[in-house]
Structure 1
Amino acid sequence: MHFSASAVAAATGGTVIGAEREIDGAGIDSRTIRPGQLFVPIVADRDGHDFIPQALDAGVRAYLTAQPTGATGEATAIAVDDTAVALADLGRAARARLTGAVIGVTGSVGKTSTKDLLAAVLSTTYVTAANERSFNNELGLPLTLLGAPDDTEAVVVEMGARGVGHIAVLCEIAHPTVGIVTRVEGVHLELFGDIEAVARAKGELVESLPDHGLAVLNADDERVAAMAPRTTAQVLRYAVDPVEPRDVDVYATDITLDDDLRAAFTLHTPWGSAPVHLAARGEHQVGNALAAAAAAGGSGVALDGIVTGLSAAAISGLRMELTTTPSGVVVLNDAYNANPTSMRAALAALARIDTPRRVAVLGVMGELGDNAAAEHRGVAEHARDLGVEVIAVNAPDYGSAASHVADVDGAVTALADLAAGDAVLVKGSRVAAMERVATALADR
């Protein structure tokens, strides 16, 4: 989205130092910043002001600063009191320019995949913008709004939370007109305390919606379904193969999974029914697709656009990536993140692969609080019940149902006897960086 330097200053209460300039979007990382963007130096573990020279070398000609310095060379500085606060203010200014739907997506699992599916569906009908990867916090959300093209008709913003009140802050910036809540699970309990606090936090999105808005709620999750009274907006409920379809608005029946782990089903909506074959892998993607279908249909996308978008949608990297190594080993790389729910979904997908041997190389599941040991043991025992061997990488909580190694090299050594046709799942929380195992296996 284009802003002049003076418009940036007006939105942030800042002062322009240097020539008037046009910016198009913004960035906070000098390594990925693009010419024409506004560089926003964030002060965190490292002071982003130290990287202004690198941003200028990358072609940036305007930047925010909270330091008592003037413009550098040919660049223009906008002096502000706090760069992070100024970024949020710029996000609000960008949101004020948007006239179409702004759709917020939250939930303990499935946010990013739902965002990806929804953006693909909306793009069949509207000029659509969505956050990159999982840019879902107080920095990523305003960057997404600022990155939307000037002619954007619909924006999808993923909303994460690390405590009660966080989503309310994001909603105050984005003012969503549509809100999706996928699931409420016992993740990040070290931060939330208990699952009821998770439900309160996720429901802040529903509470923020205007009277003319739309809430899309997962009827398969009782805590999500119970959020309906928290809004005066219209509510659409979705469910996977419900026992009583009359109790939901959007649902799937006749679900099958092909040899490439891609789901097909019959989609039922208030706007008609149609067969869908997902490009995304894993049966758990059916629920995410239903959420996307409900939000898109409620935003004016026709049924054929919904089907086309779902069938073509690609999912962000390190999520259910299925490859075969030169030696014939099948690798299912779902290493982006992990919690007990997503672990079971990935294990279910692995169990569907027709192979003589299935191995799950698992890293730690982070931020589970007091339930961490029990949750890890439960996942390992569930894998054993599915006939899946577990190799735990520096994660002793998986217990006696797993084999244990100290690091990635140990995991690769433990997999030395894999044969053609064997299948390996690689998964763990981001801190575990389990994609390194998949990379090591790629050339074998």
Structure 2
Amino acid sequence: MSMDMLSTDQLYHKFLECTGVSTDTRRITSDCLFVALKGASFDGNQFARQALEAGARYALVDDPAIADSDARCLLVADSLTALQDLARHHRQTLTFPVIGLTGSNGKTTTKELIAAVLSKKYRTYATVGNLNNHIGVPLTLLALNEQHEIAVIEMGANHQKEIELLCSIAQPTHGLITNVGKAHLEGFGGIEGVRKGKGELYDYLAQHGRTVFINSRDKTLMAMYRERLKSLRSETVFAETIFYPAVDASSQPVELLQESPVVVYRDPEGREVTTHLPGRYNFDNMTAALAIGDYFGISPEESNRAVADYNPTNNRSQVITKGTNTVLLDAYNANPSSMAAAIRQFAATPASRKAVILGDMYELGNESEAEHAALGKLIAESKFDLVILAGKDMHYALEFLPKAYYFPDKFSLHNWLMDHPMTDTYILVKGSRGMSLETVVPFI
């Protein structure tokens, strides 16, 4: 083939011939576009031929030697940049609303709840799993087509300027930040860095005159919103600002009624709604979904039904029955903010016997020792019947927990659980994704 590199416009015409996009040779579908990405320990260019043999229509590569070996290889200067530019180009052809959301905690659950509510009226597409980074967001956008009527795009970040990049690709028409907490402190450079990084979504929405949804009960988000109004002064900012939970003269706000074992709330019309999700932190996620549903014309009855029916199966806030035990599995992610919220919530939940199985919180950098020690103090104050800690940094929590069981690795934890079966116990299992604490559930 010619060694000329394709422009974004030329690449887009090739993309339109394809049935989808894949960056993984294990997930090749007939006539898809394979994008050869590079990582610290792999070079996707080396798998281009394998992808083509598996049924890909084209392979996007940035190695001239690979491109020269097969006419179906499309040469670009950098495959990742080309993927992002392709997604940005495709986004500009879409005319329906695109809702962008980010935050330290609750992104995926809120995304799923919003999608469930909007699906009652619209053909809705939402980020699959946690494809929420500089690769996942482009892949999500490229999965959208004229059959969709609205999209919900989750945007994750572990350093400043990442949300800014993702906004430039996704170009959200509406957006919200779930909260700002102590997540990815190492990458963001502390809590102020987190606040600035997440706030890049507000910046984009304000600068482009788009609509923002803001949790009026969150003091940090309200302060960030006011800061943007002040910094932009008289310039046109957000097209609309929707505060939730909304209160008007004719109704009451959405009200949290009870949290054991799952959230029960009363809507503005007085209807009681029982959900499958535990915790006040999930109540805030629900009110976001209800507010967005109301904004887009979903009836309260339909919105309530969607929230009530949502049952997570992704290691996030799952309530699992194991014999006479009830397990609250929240093992997809953990940081100081989400861990503290989960522990306080769990401590306030009535149960005759309560146990916690907690794993390391990752990406805290120099703050790891102090944050794990602070967590130990909070656990001690909560007076659980049984405390089990796992991971190398959890030993910092032991200063306040002399009676806790500590395991530096999961193998020894699994063995201990098998030798010490629990009964009639309410158990919180939570840790960072890298701990994979969902693996303890079969041993409970």
Q: CA deviation at 1:300?
A: 3.3
User: Does residue 11 of the first structure (1) align with residue 8 of the second (2)?
Assistant: yes
Distance 2:9 2:442 in 1: 44
Distance 2:214 2:360 in 1: 30
Superposed counterparts of 1:80-119, under 5 Å = 80-119=76-115
User: Of the candidates 259, 276, 281, which is equivalent to residue 279 of structure 1?
Assistant: 276
Distance 2:21 2:282 in 1: 32
Letter in 1 for 2:259: L
Match of 1:409 in 2: 411
Match of 1:220 in 2: 217
User: Does residue 299 of the first structure (1) align with residue 305 of the second (2)?
Assistant: no
Match of 2:324 in 1: 328
Tell me if structure 2 keeps the 8 A contact 1:15–1:80: no
Distance 2:270 2:31 in 1: 45
User: Does residue 236 of the first structure (1) align with residue 231 of the second (2)?
Assistant: no
Match of 2:266 in 1: 266
Which structure 2 segments of 5+ residues have no match?
Answer: 229-236
Tell me if structure 2 keeps the 8 A contact 1:179–1:216: yes
Match of 1:337 in 2: 333
User: Does residue 399 of the first structure (1) align with residue 398 of the second (2)?
Assistant: yes
Distance 1:235 1:140 in 2: 28
Structure (1 or 2) with the greater strand fraction: 1
Match of 2:17 in 1: 22
Distance 2:241 2:191 in 1: 23
User: Does residue 419 of the first structure (1) align with residue 422 of the second (2)?
Assistant: yes
Superposed counterparts of 1:421-440, under 5 Å = 421-440=424-443
Q: CA deviation at 1:352?
A: 6.0
Q: CA deviation at 1:71?
A: 7.6
Q: CA deviation at 1:349?
A: 5.0
Superposed counterparts of 1:40-119, under 5 Å = 40-45=35-40, 46-68=42-64, 69-70=66-67, 76-119=72-115
Tell me if structure 2 keeps the 8 A contact 1:12–1:86: no
Q: CA deviation at 1:392?
A: 1.5
Structure (1 or 2) with the greater helix fraction: 2
Tell me if structure 2 keeps the 8 A contact 1:333–1:425: yes
Distance 1:25 1:279 in 2: 34
Tell me if structure 2 keeps the 8 A contact 1:332–1:350: no
Distance 2:423 2:341 in 1: 24
Q: Secondary structure at the match of 1:217?
A: strand
Tell me if structure 1 keeps the 8 A contact 2:12–2:86: no
Distance 2:35 2:90 in 1: 15
Distance 2:312 2:15 in 1: 40
Superposed counterparts of 1:59-208, under 5 Å = 59-68=55-64, 69-70=66-67, 76-208=72-204
Distance 1:198 1:425 in 2: 27
Tell me if structure 2 keeps the 8 A contact 1:118–1:296: yes
Distance 1:63 1:38 in 2: 6
Which structure 1 segments of 5+ residues have no match?
Answer: 1-7
Is the deviation greater in 117-126 or in 337-346? 337-346
Distance 2:157 2:169 in 1: 14
Q: CA deviation at 1:340?
A: 1.9
Q: CA deviation at 1:385?
A: 2.8
Q: 1:279 to 1:426 in 2, by over 3 A?
A: closer
Count of aligned pairs: 420
Q: CA deviation at 1:129?
A: 0.7
Distance 1:250 1:111 in 2: 26
Tell me if structure 1 keeps the 8 A contact 2:209–2:239: yes
Distance 2:68 2:144 in 1: 27
Distance 2:374 2:203 in 1: 34
TM-score normalized with structure 1 length? 0.86
TM-score normalized with structure 2 length? 0.86
Tell me if structure 2 keeps the 8 A contact 1:14–1:80: no
Q: 1:349 to 1:55 in 2, by over 3 A?
A: farther
Q: CA deviation at 1:427?
A: 1.5
Q: CA deviation at 1:417?
A: 1.8
Tell me if structure 2 keeps the 8 A contact 1:21–1:62: no
Letter in 2 for 1:337: N
Q: 1:15 to 1:376 in 2, by over 3 A?
A: closer
Distance 2:220 2:135 in 1: 28
Q: 1:36 to 1:426 in 2, by over 3 A?
A: farther
Tell me if structure 2 keeps the 8 A contact 1:14–1:79: no
Match of 1:5 in 2: none
Q: CA deviation at 1:102?
A: 0.5
Q: Secondary structure at the match of 2:254?
A: strand
